[in-house]
Structure 1
Amino acid sequence: MVSLPIVQRELMVASRGLGSWLWRWIVAIVAVAFGGLWLLLATLNQFGGGAGMQGDIFFAIMSWACFGYCLLSGLWTTTDTLTREKAEGTLGLLFLTDLRGYDVVLGKMFTGSLRSFYGVLAVMPVLALPLLMGGVTNAQFWRTVGALLNILVFSLSVGIFFSALCNRTGKSIFWTLFLLASITIIPLIYIGIGGMNPVLSLLSPGHAMYLAAAPVIGAAPVWGWYPLWIGCGLVASVMLLILASLIIPHRWQDRQVRPSVSVDQANESSAVAPVRYRRTEHLESNPVSWLVNRNASMQTSRVLMLGFIIITWLVMIILTVAGSMYSDPDTLVPIGLGALWLGSLWFRIDLTRHTVASLSDAKSCGALEQILVTPLDEKQFRRGHFRAMARFWFWPFVALFAAPISYIAFQVLLHPEIWEFSPMLVGGIFGTIFAAVLVTGFIMDVFALYFSGCWFALRGQSFGLAFWRTFGFVYLLPTLGSQLLCWLGMFVWLITGIIFIVWPLTSLQSNFRRVVSGEYGQPYTRKVKRVPIPATRPPPPVIPA
């Protein structure tokens, strides 16, 4: 029998924790509340003479919500499990014992996956309600449950693999998100352009989820692919866990040890001199900017983002001019909106990741305390960090706005008859107002993500916790809420943006030094004035007889 001591210990600790218990109840309460609200609305609709309870629609909404939860579970559960141990320097202590790589990897994965599994398990009874409402078959329900669990295991395995491979939590989150998004979206694009290969289409978890939740009456033809897809998903997850177990014993150090270089060698070496020159240039202009510009992965991501924006919109312009099938500008509107949304999401994620990483790394290594004992005060530090971040992300920010504006201007020049068509002109006016609201919301999101990222990075104990607090509270939750509240959601989105700008900004202005020193949030202890003890007369000397 194989003994896994870390798995046993971590599961015992995690199962008894308050967070696991609360998460199980929170997910169950949200699912039951949504299910009860749907049943109430369906019953009222039936009494009003409308259609009966639509179980298939309810099942589709719940299953796709669970799909998003399972697909993204690896991002906030397992991506920082091993990187946090590397940063704290405690991972190497485990390998001083007789533990193996699979002990550590499986222990960390089971710990991170417990809450996610509890959440899926809590939703299953609510997901089964459409079986009583009608419109959903038993096979459809069980196929969906199996697909959700398979996607959950795969997402957790991807997160633990990149956590073992990367040295920083930011890199682990980025590559996990990149792989999950690529493997989900690229096969869907292949299907959208007319691809018919079932093997390539089943690479997407989204398409497999669609087939699993498809209503099939009678003999189910999709059962032929289902066992194969489940088996391939489990094999891929096991392979990722094996690779992580083989990698982690050799990459447990936080940084690779490099040989020391003397001053004379650094001045003569071509590899070190550019780094010294860039650091000196940043320190002379803005001492804080080196904390922002030293991250090589963010510089690479910025270049890739600029390339994505420029190439995407250039291709759209070329397709508009060259092909006759693309002469109608309406055919490229969904593609342009999708590219614009993807670019803005990429910008939000990287801005949050960069803001949190620059301050979290500086706090963990003690650089913030060292900076604050210099003549540079806290106000100069905050202003310098803001200017450095604005300078770093200026061109991607400009490209996000300049590319669609240039495309619209090109369309107007190519089709001047648009100005003569009055309904199109009225639609353009309303579209301009709607676009202005979206642009205002995006700019507010940028400032809210920056200031909230600074505050949560200084308050949090880890990069992953600070990142998901910032991105979840500022963008994810308001976006989901705005979708549920229909036209009122846009105003709620703007209000939450104002709140997450004003609150962290005022907190940083008043409590920056206390947060850095660790005094913020500590219980207040009143100093008790000590009463001096009255002096007593010395005892008389003893006279010997």
Structure 2
Amino acid sequence: DTISREKREGTLGLLFLTPLTPIGIVFGKSLIHTLRAITLFLAVLPALALPFLLGGLSWKDCVVSLFLNSSALVLALAAGLLASTLATDSRRALVLALVLSLGFAYLFMLVHLHLFYSTLSKFLKLPFAPPTDFAWFLPDNLISQIELLISFNTGLGRDLYSYYGLGRMTPGEGWRFVWLNYPVPFHFAWLRQLGWLFVVSIFGFAAIAVLASWRVRHTWRLEPPSLRHAQLQKFFCAPRFWKSIFRSKMSGLLTRNPIGWLQQYTWSARLLKWGWCLGIVLLECMLVTAPSLSNVWDGQYLLASLLILGIAFTASGSFREERQTGAMELLLITPLKARQILRGRIRGVWGQFLPATVVLVSAWLWLL
């Protein structure tokens, strides 16, 4: 939200009155958040140093962790910076930043896995053919893919997925398996590859920063939507079928729960409601094709967690728009009491996620 907040508050134009350039603004904002992340890291550094001082970790473990976490920090910063320039609303910027961060993390872990095996094949004769593409590593279902990548990049995965080429590790053995079973020249070759990954992450961040500065230069003012945009929004987002039923339903909702009506009257709110439902349906269709029932239930727990986070995220910003537009003061001068306003908003938020919840619970009953 570092750039989008400046747009909403109208202070981005004031920054252009200074000698700062767009790229300077972007890098300055990035530096602030980088220093904040480094400060948090330094705060927990004494606790992180204890395993090393007690002999539980080697210096190689520390170097691997440093490269991986530094790359993750750079990519997360790039994702947040790009999302802040693409979205103006704080919630949309946050959601977009999370999506971009997950995408960058998945791509980084996939590249790391590829580099590990391609480097290992130069020092050892593997019991399988060297990989030719990324899909070679991955199982047939999404949950197994994620578990494989996370276990490999953290060294803390399940024994079933912690496979490094010559044998399976015991749970929690992690990267120590590499140091004990693979030749020392491979250790340094792998560390060099991790260093190059970190350098590539920095160059990727620089490229995204240049793109963000271009966006800042061309979109620093909040302009009203164009006529073409309004026509497209009306064509795709306005009700086109059963309009009388839709109006009757919204009128009844306004009569029964005016606060909940405020939560659901816009097309974006309706898109959120049925988008969650469609997303749960599509993910359930992917999960039921998993070969293992345990993977299916792991996916159910993940979907339930995502749904709970979505409800909490929507509820946390439910009164934000009313405060920004001044509608909150109008609500407070109505005969409605504060308790009624809160109860109506809770019902409105719950109504947005009711179809998705029904689909998820129905899937659980079917699996049982």
Q: Same fold (TM over 0.5)?
A: yes
Partner amino acid, structure 2, of 1:307:
L
State the SS of the aligned residue for 1:129: helix
SS state at 1:405 partner: helix
Query: RMSD value over aligned CA atoms?
Result: 3.8
The secondary structure found in structure 2 opposite 1:256 is coil
After superposition, the Cα gap between the structure-2 partners of 1:188 and 1:113, relative to the gap in structure 1 and judged at 3 Å, is closer
Shift of residue 101 of structure 1? 1.5
TM-superposed deviation, 1:92: 2.5
Residues of 1 paired with 2:150 and 2:23: CA distance?
26
Find the partner of 2:280 among 309, 313, 316: 309
Q: Is the 8 A contact 2:4 2:84 kept in 1?
A: yes
* SS of equivalent to 2:367: helix
Answer yes or no: is 1:292 the counterpart of 2:268.
Answer: no
CA positional deviation for 1:91:
2.2
Q: 1:248 to 1:352 in 2, by over 3 A?
A: farther
Deviation at 1:290, TM superposition (A): 4.1
Question: 1:391-445 deviations in whole A, cap 9, x for unaligned?
Answer: 211111222222122112xxxxxxxxxxxxxxxxxxxxxxxxxxxxxxxxxxxxx
State the secondary structure of the residue aligned to 1:167: coil
**Unmatched 5+ residue regions in structure 1?**
1-79, 260-264, 320-325, 409-545
Q: Does structure 2 conserve the Cα–Cα contact (< 8 Å) formed by 1:184 and 1:206? A: no
Whether contact under 8 Å (1:291, 1:362) holds in the other structure is no
Distance 1:300 1:272, change over 3 A: closer
Q: CA–CA distance in 2 between the matches of 1:304 and 1:99?
A: 41
Is 1:306–1:396's contact at 8 Å kept on the other side of the alignment?
yes
Partners of 1:305 and 1:377 in 2: CA distance: 31
Shift of 1:113: 2.7
Residue in 2 that maps onto 1:389: 349
* 1:323-378 CA distance string (max 9 Å, x none): xxx4xxxx321x12221122122212221222222311211221100222234443
Asked whether the 8 Å contact 1:309–1:400 carries over to 2, the reply is: yes
- The letter of the residue matching 2:44 is V
Q: Could you tell me how far 1:308 is from its partner in structure 2?
A: 3.7
1:240 has 2:201 as partner: no
- Partner residue of 1:68? none
Cα 1:187–1:399 change in 2 (3 A) is: farther
Pairwise CA distance, 1:302 = 4.1
- Report whether the alignment pairs 1:118 with 2:53: no
Question: 2:197 maps to which residue?
Answer: 229
In terms of mean alpha carbon deviation, does 181-190 or 371-380 score higher? 181-190
The code of the aligned residue for 1:222 comes to W
Q: Is the 8 A contact 1:291 1:358 kept in 2?
A: no
Match of 2:65 among 122, 135, 144: 144
* Partner secondary structure for residue 3 of structure 2: helix
Give 1:495's aligned residue.
none
Shift of 1:155: 0.8
Percent of residue pairs identical? 24
* Aligned 8 A contact 2:75 2:104 in 1: no
**After the TM superposition, which of the residue ranges 370-379 and 196-205 deviates more from structure 2?**
196-205
- Code of the residue aligned with 2:293 in structure 1: it is L
Does residue 214 of structure 1 match 2:175? yes
Q: Does 1:348 align with 2:308?
A: yes
Matching residue's letter, 2:356 = P
Larger RCO (CA under 8 A, 6+ residues apart): 2
Cross-structure match for 2:160: none
**Equivalent pair of 1:313/1:404 in contact (CA under 8 Å):** no
**Cα distance, 1:290–1:186 mapped onto 2, change above 3 Å:** farther
Partners of 1:286 and 1:316 in 2: CA distance = 37
SS in 2 for 1:288: helix
Q: Distance in 1 between matches of 2:193 and 2:226?
A: 51
Match of 1:157 among 64, 74, 78: 78
- Give distance in 1, aligned partners of 2:132 and 2:101: 21
Residues 1:383 and 1:253: Cα distance change in structure 2 (over 3 Å): farther
Q: Amino acid of the residue matched to residue 99 of structure 2?
A: F
1:57-456 maps to which residues of 2 (within 5 A)?
A: 80-184=1-105, 196=131, 207-210=152-155, 214-215=175-176, 216-217=179-180, 218-219=184-185, 220=187, 221-254=189-222, 256-258=224-226, 274=239, 281=251, 283-284=254-255, 286-294=257-265, 299-317=270-288, 326=291, 331-333=292-294, 335-408=295-368
After superposition, the C-alpha distances for 1:434-476 in whole angstroms (9 at most, x for unaligned) are xxxxxxxxxxxxxxxxxxxxxxxxxxxxxxxxxxxxxxxxxxx
TM-score normalised per structure 1: 0.49
Asked whether the 8 Å contact 1:95–1:249 carries over to 2, the reply is no
Give the C-alpha shift of residue 104 in structure 1.
Answer: 2.0
The number of residues matched between the two structures is 308
- Paired with 1:207 and 1:250, the residues of 2 have a C-alpha distance of 42
CA–CA distance in 1 between the matches of 2:353 and 2:326? 26
Cα distance between partner residues in 2 of 1:309 and 1:141: 39
Aligned partners of 1:272 and 1:296: how far apart in 2? 6
Q: CA deviation at 1:136?
A: 2.8
Deviations 1:296-319 (A, max 9, x none): 555444444323433343455456
Deviation at 1:168, TM superposition (A): 1.1
Q: Which amino acid aligns with 1:332?
A: L
